[in-house]
Amino acid sequence: MKTKPKTVRISIIGFGNVGGGVAEAVRRKREEIERRHGIDIKIVGIADLKGAIVNENGLSEDAIMKPKTRRKPEDMTSRDVIKEIEHEVMVEATPTNVENGEPGLTHIITALESDRHVVTSNKGPLALEYSRLMELAAKRGKELRFEAAVGGAMPIISLVRENLAGNGIISIKGILNGTCNYILTRMAEEGLPYEHVLKEAQEIGIAESDPSKDVEGIDTAVKLVILANSVFDMNMTYEDVEVTGITDITPDALKLANDAGYMIKLIGEVDRAGGLKVAPRLVPKDDPLNVGGTLNVATIKTDLAGDITVIGKGAGPIEAASAILSDIIRIYS
Amino acid sequence: MKTKPKTVRISIIGFGNVGGGVAEAVRRKREEIERRHGIDIKIVGIADLKGAIVNENGLSEDAIMKPKTRRKPEDMTSRDVIKEIEHEVMVEATPTNVENGEPGLTHIITALESDRHVVTSNKGPLALEYSRLMELAAKRGKELRFEAAVGGAMPIISLVRENLAGNGIISIKGILNGTCNYILTRMAEEGLPYEHVLKEAQEIGIAESDPSKDVEGIDTAVKLVILANSVFDMNMTYEDVEVTGITDITPDALKLANDAGYMIKLIGEVDRAGGLKVAPRLVPKDDPLNVGGTLNVATIKTDLAGDITVIGKGAGPIEAASAILSDIIRIYS
């Protein structure tokens, strides 16, 4: 790029694994992004429950990494950072809350009303208030992007909406939760019972101490709602999904399936007729959907291109950060 | 879209399977593309060795489907259509020629010099003159897009360059030829010798009567060169690839591999250090690269997102047309 790079100031709201991953990814990739895409990303504000730190000229690496230097939440809230600090893109990376979408929902609305683009990994607001948020974004002439919310680093939203533009999408089905895939893969490989493998997954950090959102299919259902709304222009919420989790799957069931040439996987499926379903399903061993470990996968059935399958890491801070960075770059190219 | 759709006039140069597929795809998807993307695609010129037909207001379906109404090549050549008929996008769909790239090379240069965007499925010009063509496109401020040239309907070029923007790409490896994949899959499944399966593939139209470009790895190598140049900014030609085909693979080798948990696949691989190689390789059965039948697959190794794999139909007129349509839409969105 010979022209002067465009400065893109971002805030990161929510500075846990994903928010920290974004800061780390910006640190590692800033020069390369400037060279290849002509944009210079500057982090001008960070805020989470522990406090906020801002610098309109760009925060130094030191400042980003030292939470102790932050202003207390009572002096400066996340909303203050979003509204009062001049910047172009608000990265919303607080944890998903499927009860009421907060605090992410308020952050996203505040940002759009303050004329910021929004890039988020937060599934809650999108699963609960998709139409309202997209309408607000359109009204303000801003973008609301969320590649990181579904499939982590696996580029599913943009793949369907952009790369496959021109195709009618008939259905999308896939494995959208790495924890369930890990548990079912290990159970099938080792013939071990659910509780045993869950405990193992918790010990190595693949499952949370309260695993219910993953193993009961809630996380998959929420992602399915986001796919339904963004790809099929539906207006679904979490309540519209028929959900069955993996807690009742036995090693015997997996063995029977295996003997017949199948694996059991927790599959989320949405078709353009409007059915949204999450349930354990038989997947032929030679089907592209049969991926192991913590991988995510989705098969997109289209009217021209046939079936397209994409496989990638569904979780991880730097993987989510990758999707967030790509979203930021795509706003400006 | 409430605003008036933008009219995009296209010519289709080369009206065999792929060119015909584009006309068919435009016929089926024109209204949907206008509604969803705000562009109205009009075919204003078609030309191939048998002749040309043009109408600056858009050719009727009848006119497109009746080759007999065409003007003879001596009255109007493909170059005449490209230069003299006003249009925005030239679709180059003549057959690949890896000797000298013609006639595609001349068509593409003529179109860019006439200030048309170019969308092509033709691998020859890209494998031989990539840098020169991209420089010419940049100089004229026009786009040269070629998603259909690699992996058919599988969106690999745009996936890497756009969806994974922000990532450094370390390597790409995959199965880029459906004919070879079909032959090796059938040989492994049935324990049949190469010649037998090749004959079967020829009978059902999966292999050509002269199969050498496919089975000797030439087609894979040409696609690899296009990936190397477009993704890694290299300046490679077909001569730079180390190529081994599949003609010497025996059922015994496939069985030995199978017993050890592997399949043998013809793999093309390029890494950023500059090595380009096409050869039969052992692929673990549970690797995402292990896909069967005529499918194509590519695994992209990245520095942030980890490994991303994409699987799709690598060939077929309507699949290539899907990629061409997506390219046209992306020029205008």
Give CA–CA dist B179/B186, Å, rounded.
11
pLDDT tens per residue, range B77-116: 999 999 999 999 999 999 999 999 999 999 999 999 999 9
A322: which 2 tokens?
């990758």
Q: Specify whether B176 is located in the same domain as B270.
A: yes
pLDDT at B195: 96
Q: Which residue is closest to B308 within chain A, CA to CA? A: A312
Local structure of A29: helix, strand or coil = helix
Q: Specify whether A148 is located in the same domain as A209.
A: no
Considering its fold, how many domains does chain B have in total? 2
Q: How confident is the model at residue A162 (pLDDT cuts 50, 70, 90)?
A: confident
B53, part of any domain: yes
Positions of B annotated as catalytic residues are 223
pLDDT at A316: 85
Q: Which residue is closest to B314 within chain A, CA to CA? A: A305
B71: which 2 tokens?
């003007």
Strands of the B6-13 sheet, one edge to the other:
B51-54, B39-48, B6-13, B89-92, B117-120, B144-145
Lowest average pLDDT, out of A116-125, A158-167, A281-290, goes to A158-167
Task: Give the A window 139-168 contacts with B, CB below 8 Å.
Answer: 147, 153-155, 158-159, 162-168
Q: Which of A123, A213, A223, A277 is catalytic?
A: A223
Tell me what the pLDDT averaged over chain B comes to. Answer: 94
Phi, psi at residue B31, to the nearest 5°? -65, -45
Q: Residue B37: which of A32, A165, A325 has the nearest Cβ? A: A165
User: Which one-letter amino acid corresponds to residue B57?
Assistant: N
Contacting residues of B for A157, CB less than 8 Å apart:
none
Q: Is B304 on the interface with A (CB under 8 A)?
A: yes
Local structure of B308: helix, strand or coil = strand
Q: Is B273 on the interface with A (CB under 8 A)?
A: no
pLDDT at A153: 86
pLDDT at A266: 98
Contacting residues of B for A28, CB less than 8 Å apart:
303-304
Q: Residue A166: which of B286, B304, B325 has the nearest Cβ? A: B325
B158 CB contacts (<8 Å, ≥6 apart)?
A: A162, A163, B147, B326, B330
Half-sphere exposure of B109 (CA within 13 A, CB side): 11
Contacting residues of A for B322, CB less than 8 Å apart:
164, 166-167, 302, 304-305
Give CA–CA dist B253/B206, Å, rounded.
23
Q: Specify whether B40 is located in the same domain as B139.
A: yes
pLDDT at A296: 96
Interface residue of A32, A163, A286, A325 to substitute, partner B, most B CBs within 10 Å: A163
Residue B2 reports pLDDT greater than 70: no
Q: What mean pLDDT do residues A19-38 have?
A: 94
Q: How confident is the model at residue B1 (pLDDT cuts 50, 70, 90)?
A: very low
B276: which 2 tokens?
């380009």
Give the gyration radius of chain A's Cα atoms.
Answer: 20
Q: Specify whether A325 is located in the same domain as A304.
A: no
A158, part of any domain: no
CATH of residue A295 = 3.30.360.10
Q: Specify whether B172 is located in the same domain as B148.
A: no
pLDDT tens per residue, range A1-24: 457 899 999 999 999 999 999 999
Helices (H), B85-177: 104-113, 123-140, 157-158
B221 CB contacts (<8 Å, ≥6 apart)?
A: B238, B241, B243, B268, B276, B278
Q: Please give the DSSP secondary-structure letter assigned to residue B95.
A: P
Q: Is A286 on the interface with B (CB under 8 A)?
A: yes
Q: Specify whether A309 is located in the same domain as A204.
A: yes
Q: Are B92 and B120 in contact (CB under 8 A)?
A: yes
Q: Is-cis flag, bond preceding A73, omega within 30?
A: no
Could you tell me the residue range of the domain that residue B103 belongs to? 6-153+317-331
Lowest average pLDDT, out of A142-146, B15-19, B88-92, goes to B15-19
B194, part of any domain: yes
Task: Give the B window 17-36 contacts with A, CB below 8 Å.
Answer: 25, 28-29, 32-33, 36
pLDDT tens per residue, range B193-208: 999 999 999 999 999 9
Give CA–CA dist A61/A134, Å, rounded.
34
CATH of residue A90 = 3.40.50.720
Residue B29 reports pLDDT greater than 50: yes
Interface residue of B28, B30, B162 to substitute, partner A, most A CBs within 10 Å: B162
pLDDT at A201: 95
Do the Cβ atoms of A310 and B310 come within 8 Å?
A: yes
B1, part of any domain: no
User: Which CA distances in Å does B61 have to B27, B72, B140?
Assistant: 8, 20, 32
Contacting residues of B for A272, CB less than 8 Å apart:
none
Task: Give the B window 37-96 contacts with A, CB below 8 Å.
Answer: 37
Give CA–CA dist B160/B175, Å, rounded.
16
Tell me what the pLDDT averaged over chain A comes to. Answer: 94
Q: How many CB atoms lie within 10 A of CB B293?
A: 12
Q: Which residue is closest to B26 within chain A, CA to CA? A: A166
Q: Specify whether B203 is located in the same domain as B323.
A: no
How remote is the C-alpha of A205 from its chain's centroid?
Answer: 18
Q: Specify whether B169 is located in the same domain as B295.
A: yes
B140, part of any domain: yes
Q: Is A184 on the interface with B (CB under 8 A)?
A: no
pLDDT at A1: 43
Residue A235 pairs with which residues in a beta bridge? none
Give CA–CA dist A122/A258, Å, rounded.
36
Phi, psi at residue A186, to the nearest 5°? -65, -40
Contacting residues of A for B32, CB less than 8 Å apart:
168
Q: Specify whether B219 is located in the same domain as B127.
A: no
A36, part of any domain: yes
Contacting residues of B for A165, CB less than 8 Å apart:
36-37, 325-326, 329-330, 333
Q: Specify whether B192 is located in the same domain as B264.
A: yes
A1, part of any domain: no
Q: Specify whether B124 is located in the same domain as B194.
A: no
Q: Specify whether B307 is located in the same domain as B170.
A: yes
B159, part of any domain: no
Q: Are B183 and B220 in contact (CB under 8 A)?
A: no
Local structure of A40: helix, strand or coil = strand
